[in-house]
Chains A and B, each alone.
Chain A
Amino acid sequence: MAKTGLASRLYAGEAGLDVIGRRKLWFGVAGALILVAVLSFALRGFSLGIEFAGGNSFQVPASVGTLDDAEKTVDTVLARTAAGAEVVTAQKVGGTGGDFYEMRTTQLDAEQANEAKAEMARVFGIQADQISGNQVSEAWGSQVTSRALLGLVIFVLLVTVYLVLRFEWRMAAAAVSSLFMNLILTAGIYSLVGFEVTPSTIIGFLTILGFALYDVVVVFDKVQENTRGITANNNQTYGEAANLAINQSLMRSLNTSVVALLPVGGLLFIGAGLLGAGTLKDLGLVLFVGMAVAFLTSILLATPLLVLLKNYEPRIQAHNKRVLARRTALAKGEITPKGAARPAADADEPVDVDAALAGAAPKVGARPAGKRSTGARGGRPAGGGGNRPGGAKRR
């Protein structure tokens, strides 16, 4: 029926997307993108705004007209005399020394600055010495930037400790590495496209920090819930449970991202559409890019990474083998399943076939391993006996 479209399956939390099974693809894509980003940092760098690179300032007497007109005039003059230069801020300055307009522009060399000054004097119809010009340093000194970076490092350390305590070290490792990928990819887009980096960009970047982890924590929370006591029965591998968690929280992640991106989109639309350049646009842009990337990394990178790490854990490794061994046994008809519904639901996941086949080879060796492992869990209150067929019947 029409009800089985992707949208309604999503709504019901049963999208059945296979994310974990294609993890090699995601890792490959992420790796390639990171390589591109790093190359871009090295080769292209970033285009820094006046707050980082410094610039020039011109003081024009206020007698030449309104601030807006003066700004426009200076802008056109700059376009003629120094290609690519523009007015960044225009302010009226008043004091006992008379009123004047101060325009801060992007960086000019001495020759361009003199030329611009002469041209401005001509256009405004005043004497050249009534306009004064100066180099200005970056308002956002290296200090602000380096302290922000220091903050980032401390934050990552703290948050790692927090995640280790709240979840476990593998989840912390996966979350933090996906955070780094997120930051690198966002910065990569900035470098590649050549968006200007301003203080607002840095601030937006720091906002993404929190948001990216927020997203990951929501997904991991569900993964943790789904995989609690997973070794107690043999229906699901860790990867499948994680995949299910992704599908169940997909709608949540999607909604979260939509709800967060809507206001950001508003910012971007207003900033770029109505005002041209400026704080709103810069912030809107970095947040939009960063949040979109955060949504993707939390699903396509963080959880697959977690599964990858988890599969190295001996306990989970043994469990996965056991599940697959049982599945092949089922397929061969050696054991009849009790609840038919669940294996059937699992069967339409394409990964299962591959994984089952892959797991089929060590089947003979796997049995004792499985046995030893079940023996080890003998102390669990609800774990059932060491005998596996018995355990299967019990469920």
Chain B
Amino acid sequence: MRPGRQLAVLGLIFVVLYLLVFFSGGASGGFKDRLEPRLGLDLVGGTRMTLEATNSLDGRPPTAENLEEARQIIENRVNAYGVAEAEVVTEGNRNIVISLPGENRDLTDVGSAAELRFRKVLKAADGSGAAAAPAPTPTPAPSGSASPAPSGSAKPSGSASPSGAKATASPSAGGQGGGAPAPSASATGSPSASAAPSSSASAEPVPAGVEEQRKAVEQKVGAAAWQAASGLQAPADLTADPSLADKLKPFGALSPREIAVLPAEMQFNVPTITCAQLDQRPPASIKDEKQKAVACEDGVQKYLLDVAKVLGTDVGDANAVLDQTSSWVVSLDFKGGGQEKWTNLTREAFNNEGQACDQTALGQDGKCRVAVVLDNKVVSSPEIQGVLTGDSQITGSFDNKAASALAGQLRYGALPVTFEPQEQQNVTATLGASHLRAGLLAAGIGMLLVIIYSFFYYRLLGSVIFLSLVLSGLLVFGALVFLGRQIGFTLTLAGIAGMIVSLGVAADSFVIYFERLKDEIREGRSPRSAVPRAWIRARRTIISANAITIMSAVVLYIVSVGAVKGFAFALGLATVLDLVVVFLFRHPIMTMFARTRAFLSPRVSGLGRILPPARSEQATRTSRVKEA
């Protein structure tokens, strides 16, 4: 109706899109860099990392099913990065190879096992390594023990208790002195604490492979050191007994892998084993939920942890949310049976039943703490404020990104196999520049053929087709660049081919329109009045037909994974933009065109060829149409 207005809207869309392309967040570099769409693995290469399965400490390779299951979980995690077409394959019988487009992407998190365990904190000690040096730091502890640093833990626990159903972990952020109760214990409380029965637990069954490795470590540190370490009932106070410090010194030189095979009590009691070492243990080190474990929080707090009573598999869902104090937390939703286990665990901790927790590990209200252990590390260790029967939260010093990453790891499940990331490598494109050029050449040739055909068939109307294809192309390109930056949409060669095809299909909607126009003219209308009538009828057909394409794109995008998802996205995008061009460009242009004289000339418009034979019958036909 108002062609000018529609064209103006289209112009506005262009201006906005290209402003976004050049100036939106993430746009950087020169003119050319800003116009670069994000290309896929097959065209520009990317980053590759090999994960080697370290299923258990005894060194057997995992089963094929486990490896495949792990591959799928990793694939899900990688795909959570956006619409980038990652490739995840297993190689040999213990490797998984992940390739992601773009150089120097950080893939370390993808392979982490995310083995979530909830373990009660039995004892706590200073693991910062400061105590390992014999004498220099004698007294930060006593002051801490006297007043268990209210600032650190009061705030988070206060926010949690009113809601009742939420367990809020004290974040114990490293800098805040949050873990104040713990370091003190190692200095003052240990002699009395040694009475705790925990030490007798070292008689747990140990796999044969581990037993051997333990022997090897025993030899390495020497019998005297081993003896001394085995004899410890509590974290050794090296300041009190310098000779012991000398004896235990060899432990400080052990590799993280060697430390991992030591009994949990030994890992905990020997002060020369620092958190720095413990955090470096191979991922599977404290996998066994039936064994006690030692893990660190924030690299300074060393905890002796009870057997795991609640596992990651009990978690139904995990999400990153902002809590009332507007800090990021991960909310947990337990599955049916998991909820019961969690309630039992919190009751045990609240009442200090079962394997009692040492006073070194008590929270400020005198209740036991429960550590949220992810792989080898403690994410947080909230003091339990009540028996919890509902959902829970994990708090910590998270930002949005860290919380989302943790939630993603928990949600997509723990890997059945644990992996050790190998070196990260850059790979070149599998197809490379020659294919990209060939794809673009094919696009060019295809478009040229379409345009030649439409000029041949529709004469001057071909120019409308030509112009709208150019506009569609520009819109699609702009959207690609913008979305590549915003949601990580990457364009592979298959995607480019899909675009070429969809541009061809976009040209179809012209055919529908113009053939309609021919029909109307054949029925005896003047071209000028045929345009709006043909448009109304063609519009219906075009919308129905495109609706189907869009439907297929949406369904495939939602349901599929990997390359199909990317393709569906490209298809849907191209179709929607085609509709935009049809409505905002073609129709108004045709309306304007129909007002010109040239439109009526058969030599110019292609439609004219219909006219001469029809003219003779025109009079009778019009009358018939009117009657009908």
Pick the residue among A139, A148, A155, A211 that contacts B88 (CB under 8 A): A139
When the two chains form their complex, are residues B564 and A202 in contact, meaning their CB atoms are under 8 A apart? yes
Binds A, one of B4-12, B213-221, B305-313, B442-450: B442-450
Q: How far is the CB of B517 from chain A (nearest CB, A)?
A: 11
When the two chains form their complex, are residues A283 and B427 in contact, meaning their CB atoms are under 8 A apart? no
Given contacts A95-B424, A284-B497, contact A278 B445 (CB under 8 A): no
B460 at the interface (CB under 8 A from A): no
Chain B hits for A6, CB < 8 A: none
Number of interface residues of A (CB under 8 A): 78
A279 at the interface (CB under 8 A from B): yes
The distance in angstroms between the C-alpha atoms of A57 and B551, with both chains bound, is: 39
The distance in angstroms between the C-alpha atoms of A260 and B545, with both chains bound, is: 14
A287 at the interface (CB under 8 A from B): yes
When the two chains form their complex, are residues B552 and A263 in contact, meaning their CB atoms are under 8 A apart? no
The distance in angstroms between the C-alpha atoms of A144 and B88, with both chains bound, is: 11
The distance in angstroms between the C-alpha atoms of A135 and B537, with both chains bound, is: 58
B563 at the interface (CB under 8 A from A): yes
Can you list, as one digit per residue, whether each of A84-103 has a CB less than 8 Å from chain B (1) or not (0)? 00000111111111000010
Chain A hits for B493, CB < 8 A: 278-280
When the two chains form their complex, are residues B91 and A136 in contact, meaning their CB atoms are under 8 A apart? yes
When the two chains form their complex, are residues A144 and B563 in contact, meaning their CB atoms are under 8 A apart? yes
The distance in angstroms between the C-alpha atoms of A59 and B497, with both chains bound, is: 30
Q: How far is the CB of A37 from chain B (nearest CB, A)?
A: 22
The distance in angstroms between the C-alpha atoms of A91 and B427, with both chains bound, is: 7
Chain B hits for A94, CB < 8 A: 425-427
Pick the residue among B438, B510, B544, B556 that contacts A221 (CB under 8 A): B544
Given contacts A200-B494, A210-B548, A280-B497, contact A221 B540 (CB under 8 A): yes
Q: B430, B434, B439, B442: which has the most chain A beta carbons within 10 Å?
A: B442
When the two chains form their complex, are residues B548 and A162 in contact, meaning their CB atoms are under 8 A apart? yes
Q: Main secondary structure on chain B at its contact with chain A? A: helix
Given contacts A256-B508, A266-B443, contact A148 B434 (CB under 8 A): no
A252 at the interface (CB under 8 A from B): yes
Given contacts A221-B541, A280-B438, contact A12 B610 (CB under 8 A): yes
Q: Which residue from chain A places its CB closest to the CB of B45 in the assembled complex? A: A91
The distance in angstroms between the C-alpha atoms of A261 and B504, with both chains bound, is: 8
When the two chains form their complex, are residues A139 and B443 in contact, meaning their CB atoms are under 8 A apart? no
When the two chains form their complex, are residues B91 and A259 in contact, meaning their CB atoms are under 8 A apart? no
When the two chains form their complex, are residues A135 and B507 in contact, meaning their CB atoms are under 8 A apart? no
Q: Main secondary structure on chain A at its contact with chain B? A: helix
Q: Which residue from chain B places its CB closest to the CB of A259 in the assembled complex? A: B507
When the two chains form their complex, are residues A214 and B434 in contact, meaning their CB atoms are under 8 A apart? no
The distance in angstroms between the C-alpha atoms of A266 and B453, with both chains bound, is: 14
When the two chains form their complex, are residues B497 and A262 in contact, meaning their CB atoms are under 8 A apart? no
When the two chains form their complex, are residues B497 and A217 in contact, meaning their CB atoms are under 8 A apart? no
The distance in angstroms between the C-alpha atoms of A328 and B551, with both chains bound, is: 48
Can you list, as one digit per residue, whether each of A35-78 has a CB less than 8 Å from chain B (1) or not (0)? 00000000000000000000001000000000100000000000
Q: How far is the CB of B330 from chain A (nearest CB, A)?
A: 26
A393 at the interface (CB under 8 A from B): no
When the two chains form their complex, are residues B567 and A263 in contact, meaning their CB atoms are under 8 A apart? no
When the two chains form their complex, are residues B555 and A154 in contact, meaning their CB atoms are under 8 A apart? yes
Given contacts A13-B522, A200-B497, contact A91 B430 (CB under 8 A): yes
When the two chains form their complex, are residues B435 and A278 in contact, meaning their CB atoms are under 8 A apart? yes
Can you list, as one digit per residue, whether each of A143-164 has a CB less than 8 Å from chain B (1) or not (0)? 1100110110011001100100
When the two chains form their complex, are residues A251 and B551 in contact, meaning their CB atoms are under 8 A apart? no
Please report which residues of chain B, range 478-505, place their CB below 8 angstroms from some CB of chain A when the two chains form the complex. Answer: 492-494, 497-498, 500-501, 503-505
Please report which residues of chain B, range 3-56, place their CB below 8 angstroms from some CB of chain A when the two chains form the complex. Answer: 42, 45, 48
Q: Which residue from chain B places its CB closest to the CB of A96 in the assembled complex? A: B423
Given contacts A12-B522, A96-B423, A280-B442, contact A206 B564 (CB under 8 A): yes
Q: How far is the CB of B351 from chain A (nearest CB, A)?
A: 45
A203 at the interface (CB under 8 A from B): yes
When the two chains form their complex, are residues A217 and B500 in contact, meaning their CB atoms are under 8 A apart? no
Please report which residues of chain B, range 446-483, place their CB below 8 angstroms from some CB of chain A when the two chains form the complex. Answer: 446-447, 449-450, 453-454, 457
A195 at the interface (CB under 8 A from B): no
The distance in angstroms between the C-alpha atoms of A162 and B552, with both chains bound, is: 12
Q: How far is the CB of B178 from chain A (nearest CB, A)?
A: 38
- Contacts beyond the supplied A214-B505, A217-B548: 10 A-B pairs with Cβ under 8 Å: A11-B609, A67-B428, A91-B428, A135-B91, A141-B71, A147-B564, A148-B559, A151-B558, A218-B545, A255-B457
Pairs across A and B, CB under 8 Å, 6 listed: A148-B559, A203-B498, A214-B548, A261-B504, A279-B493, A279-B497
Q: Which 7 A-B pairs have the closest CB atoms?
A: A263-B446, A266-B446, A95-B425, A151-B559, A270-B442, A263-B504, A262-B449
